Structure 1
């Protein structure tokens, strides 16, 4: 019961992080939120996704009994981004049509997939599935 509750909390954290990373993706050095430094884009959320998504996968793998449970933070994160890409609130488009969106997807999905692969490798090593 506590493992399922922990996985649900980790999935909820993954959802919240995906929403926050998506909302702050257009961050720029334009003097609004950050100092004015030539209006350069600053996709900090892609770096944040590269750290938090695999960390959540590793945390979920400690409570998971199977691959789906371990991969659930990654699946929730990608699903949330895709959901907001298709069905933005009020018909708004939240994903940018430039390199920052690709960087966000790559920054979260690739390290998260590597963490899932690490879980699968450890699980195969414990079971002795060496082929």
Structure 2
């Protein structure tokens, strides 16, 4: 994953930003296909389930998220930046109805 990507000496979470934009686009597209916000939220819920499963250790106790320093918070950053944009899209859609 590109969470540890750096711009100079500063960590830049490009994959977290991309996850938020893609999730928001998927939820927006789902809202155009259905009038139910619950069904439109399925892309978000499936992404959250996938990220939750990636936090568990594998058969050799390998982990995807982890590290030292700022990278200790990579999973939290991915969850926050990947969830807030599609949640905002859903929030606006629910408020319009």
TM (normalized to structure 1)?
0.60
The count of corresponding residues between Structure 1 and Structure 2 is 93
Gaps of 5+ in 1: 1-22, 30-36, 125-131
| Structure number with higher helix proportion | 1
Greater RCO, CA 8 A, separation 6+: 2
Which of 20, 25, 30 is the equivalent residue of 1:60? 30
1:102 aligns with 2:76: yes
For the aligned residues, what is the CA RMSD?
Answer: 2.2
Q: Distance in 2 between matches of 1:109 and 1:73?
A: 11
Gaps of 5+ in 2: none
Q: Deviations over 1:19-49 (max 9, x none)?
A: xxxx3323346xxxxxxx45x4331111112
TM (normalized to structure 2)?
0.77
Runs of 4+ in 1 over 4 A off after TM superposition: none
Query: Aligned residue for 1:25?
Result: 3
